[in-house]
A and B are shown apart, each in its own frame.
Chain A
Amino acid sequence: MEFFIQLIVGGLSVGGTYALVALGFVLIFGVANVLNIAHAQSIMLAPFFSFILMDQAKLPAALAFPLALVLTVVIALIVYSAAIRPFLVAGRQSGYLAPFIGSFGASLFIENILAKIFGSSSHPFPIEIQRNVWRLGSIVFVPMQIVSMACVVIAALVLAWVVTRSKTGRSMRAVAENPIVAESQGISARRTIVITITIATILGAASGILFAAGNNELSPFMGMEYGLKGLVVMIIGGVTSLPGAVVAGLLLGIAEALAVGYLSSSFSMVISFGLLFVILLARPTGLFASASRESRP
């Protein structure tokens, strides 16, 4: 039983980070109506920028992380204007294939350029983490798990406030509902999409730094690896549902932790995609599909 609870704790902390990745995908898909695969690379870019800033430029972590976030957002906006915006100009329905494949190309480019510069093997992440553990009864907490969970909770609460209460959030929801009507009300759809991508990238970048610090490793291919899990979570959660993404992320984290704990660590990928497969077959629109959007985007 203690082993079980221990696994649940680990699963929740990893699952929260999956949820952050998925929230980014959900925001971009909801507001811009494109599946921006290149979003996955923000997970990898942020820890790489922090690595460069701390290891090469010798900046303190408190300065390196915000700077890395800014740099990642800049790259994400460049990718957006190169690979996504050309398709939004022509109107919302320019075929689903072109922006999907275009952002995929940008993602491949970023990933392989970094693999060429830094080598395709993984590096240690240059941050000192306390290795001593905290105990609550017989359950052991690693400090990183606490940090990660705290970050996820704060990010989710701030996001919930922004989306439901702030003016930016209202314009995001308006553009998601209908960009033409939103523009007629004086909301700039393009500006809203840029803001959305910025928010999504910050979420992705934060989750990337949490992954890299938690596992103490950094690889050019981690963006795709965690990005795919984020996509899985997004679909399980109902694609356009923000609470759905959080619940599905935690679910996937727990399922993986249980599979690794009771079966074998090589099952992690098989479990996440197997779970997706089963859920898609049982509920093709995901667990928390909203009724306002068409069920077959």
Chain B
Amino acid sequence: MSGFYSSIAIPVLIDAIAVLGLYVIASSGRLSIGHAAFFGIGCYVSAILSTQLTLPFWASIVLGAVAAGVFGLVFAVVAERLGHWFFAIATLAFSVMLSGIVSSVESLGGATGIYGIPIAVGVPAVLVSLAAVLVLVYWIDRASLGRSLRAVRDSEIAAEAVGINPAYAHAGAFAIGTAIAGLAGGLWAHYLGVIKPVDMSLDRSLFFLIYLAVGGIEHWAGALLGTVTLGMLPEVLRFSREYRLAFFGLLLTGFMVLRPSGFVSRQLINRIAPRVGKIWAERHA
């Protein structure tokens, strides 16, 4: 892939990884408006491990993801008692607080961030990570874990009645989702070589949320499709970046009114999947 295309593709694919994490969280019925905070934890932890302890890049990225997941787990356990709306506002509060703290702590680089991170992530590393995350998310969806997450999302009381603990489901989904965000953050830090507190800003969290909500909140394909199309759109159409958020806002409202579960809904998958299976079977008969 030439430099121009990879410079567009890599940020979009890294975003796609983070949005897949947000999808896992959403499949348990929780909403995070502070997903970029955990992306940022992945960025900073992996960057510090790479620059201060000179660990190999893959080790620090993995440890960054683990750190984000641990933060996520603690957050989810502490905030479990909150209702859905308040949980969402609490994630927002957490991310605003964290970026405020990070930008005022000198040893974390303050507002200028961390420089000189070894640039080690290219297209192959991003694709391998994306594939690994996709396999994980696909497996979660298929496994009993995914079924219990969706059960908790649809009705906590009914889920409890069949022996699923909603608290475990919420915390598990949030820990996995934030660890995936941390992985994306680590990749981002080692792709760019520079990280700043802006990397965990509210804007980034909003983009993650918009990508997922427009793409489809009920299926992993929605997360992927939403991120890739909306992420590429400004580059392809070459409309000015200033209009991007206004346009996305309009798109978001329109989608919520006309297709409340986003472009890729369960219905769509259920309609398409049998046909694809039939064509596949005919081809390989």
Residue positions of A touching B, CB distance < 8 A: 35, 82-83, 86-87, 94-113, 115-116, 228, 231-232, 235, 239, 266-267, 269-270, 273-274, 276-277, 280-281, 284, 295-297
Q: Which one, A96, A112, A228, A281, contacts B245 given CB within 8 A?
A: A112
- Interface 9-residue window, one of B54-62, B89-97, B122-130: B89-97
Question: Please, how many angstroms separate the alpha-carbon atoms of A296 and B260 in the complex?
Answer: 23
**In the complex, what's the smallest C-beta–C-beta distance from A282 to chain B, in angstroms?**
11
Are B104 and A96 touching (Cβ within 8 A)? no
Taking CB as reference atom, which chain B residue is nearest A109?
A: B249
Question: Please, how many angstroms separate the alpha-carbon atoms of A296 and B167 in the complex?
Answer: 14
A112-B246, A112-B249 known; A270-B101 Cβ under 8 A: yes
Q: Which residue of A96, A228, A280 has the most chain B CB atoms within 10 A of its CB atom?
A: A280
Question: Please, how many angstroms separate the alpha-carbon atoms of A113 and B88 in the complex?
Answer: 26
A98-B260, A269-B100, A280-B79 known; A106-B249 Cβ under 8 A: yes
Contacts across chains A and B counted by CB atoms under 8 Å: 121
Are A235 and B246 touching (Cβ within 8 A)? no
B168 contact set on A, CB distance < 8 A: none
Are A101 and B96 touching (Cβ within 8 A)? no
Question: Please, how many angstroms separate the alpha-carbon atoms of A228 and B88 in the complex?
Answer: 12
- Interface 9-residue window, one of B43-51, B251-259, B276-284: B251-259
Question: Please, how many angstroms separate the alpha-carbon atoms of A104 and B209 in the complex?
Answer: 10
State whether the Cβ of B138 lies closer than 8 Å to any Cβ in chain A. Answer: no
Are A102 and B253 touching (Cβ within 8 A)? yes
B253 contact set on A, CB distance < 8 A: 82-83, 102-103, 105-106, 109
A115 contact set on B, CB distance < 8 A: 242
Taking CB as reference atom, which chain B residue is nearest A283?
A: B81
Are A273 and B249 touching (Cβ within 8 A)? no
B interface SS class: helix
Are B256 and A280 touching (Cβ within 8 A)? no
A35 contact set on B, CB distance < 8 A: 85
Are A109 and B242 touching (Cβ within 8 A)? no
Question: Please, how many angstroms separate the alpha-carbon atoms of A96 and B97 in the complex?
Answer: 25
B245 contact set on A, CB distance < 8 A: 108, 111-112
**In the complex, what's the smallest C-beta–C-beta distance from A233 to chain B, in angstroms?**
11
Are A284 and B31 touching (Cβ within 8 A)? no
Are A105 and B85 touching (Cβ within 8 A)? no
Are A86 and B82 touching (Cβ within 8 A)? no
Question: Please, how many angstroms separate the alpha-carbon atoms of A296 and B251 in the complex?
Answer: 30
Q: Other CB < 8 Å A-B pairs besides A266-B100, A273-B100, 5 of them?
A: A98-B260, A101-B252, A112-B245, A112-B249, A273-B96
Question: Please, how many angstroms separate the alpha-carbon atoms of A82 and B254 in the complex?
Answer: 9
State whether the Cβ of B224 lies closer than 8 Å to any Cβ in chain A. Answer: no
A103 contact set on B, CB distance < 8 A: 253
Are A284 and B81 touching (Cβ within 8 A)? yes
State whether the Cβ of B86 lies closer than 8 Å to any Cβ in chain A. Answer: yes
**In the complex, what's the smallest C-beta–C-beta distance from A244 to chain B, in angstroms?**
14
Taking CB as reference atom, which chain B residue is nearest A115?
A: B242
A113-B246, A116-B243, A276-B90 known; A96-B252 Cβ under 8 A: no
Q: Which one, B96, B101, B251, B256, contacts A99 given CB within 8 A?
A: B256
Question: Please, how many angstroms separate the alpha-carbon atoms of A281 and B209 in the complex?
Answer: 25
Give B73-87 interface residues, CB cut-off 8 Å to A. 78-79, 81-86
**In the complex, what's the smallest C-beta–C-beta distance from B217 to chain A, in angstroms?**
7
Are B217 and A105 touching (Cβ within 8 A)? no
